């Protein structure tokens, strides 16, 4: 059983560009959450998707947007990239309800 998978593993972008990160949840999981982990910090919640809709959102600007597809996979889009967006982006999934979240290996985004 594959766990949570994310692509790409690493990404380098230039300020002002746009980026799309992808996540496939663990089998049987229908809820996907995205977190941003800056260097030396704990993960910060960006948003959560369930039934193809954004259910919760953390304190991130509208430049951060997402999508969930009918097969429960998800995308994170970031527009107008800033140097401060450089971070490890983690995707987590869980089944419906208050269950622990399982994390993917992350996508390392570097903005130059």
Binding residues for another protein, rule: CB under 8 A, are 4, 31, 33, 35, 40-45, 48, 55-56, 58, 90, 92, 98, 100-106
- Determine if the peptide bond prior to 8 is cis (ω within 30°): yes
Query: Smallest distance from the beta carbon of 35 to another protein, in angstroms?
Result: 8
Query: Smallest distance from the beta carbon of 9 to another protein, in angstroms?
Result: 10
End-to-end CA distance of the chain: 37
Closer Cβ to another protein, 4 or 109, answer by number: 4
Cα separation, 95 vs 31, whole angstroms: 6
Query: Smallest distance from the beta carbon of 24 to another protein, in angstroms?
Result: 14
Closer Cβ to another protein, 87 or 90, answer by number: 90
Nearest 5°: CA angle at 103, between 97 and 108? 140
Closer Cβ to another protein, 81 or 107, answer by number: 107
Instruction: Collect all residues with Cβ–Cβ distance below 8 Å to 84 and sequence separation of at least 6.
Output: 111
């Amino acid at each position: 059983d594959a766990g949570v998978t994310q692509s790409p593993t690493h990404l380098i972008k230039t300020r002002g560009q746009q980026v799309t990160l992808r996540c496939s949840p663990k089998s049987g999981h229908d809820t996907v959450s995205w977190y941003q982990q800056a260097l030396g910090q704990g993960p910060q919640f960006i948003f959560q998707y369930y039934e193809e809709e954004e259910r919760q959102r953390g304190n991130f600007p509208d430049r951060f947007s997402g999508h969930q597809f009918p097969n429960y996979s998800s995308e994170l889009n970031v527009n107008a990239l800033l140097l401060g967006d450089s971070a490890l982006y983690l995707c987590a999934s869980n089944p419906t309800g208050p269950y622990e979240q399982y994390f993917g290996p992350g996508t390392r985004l570097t903005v130059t």
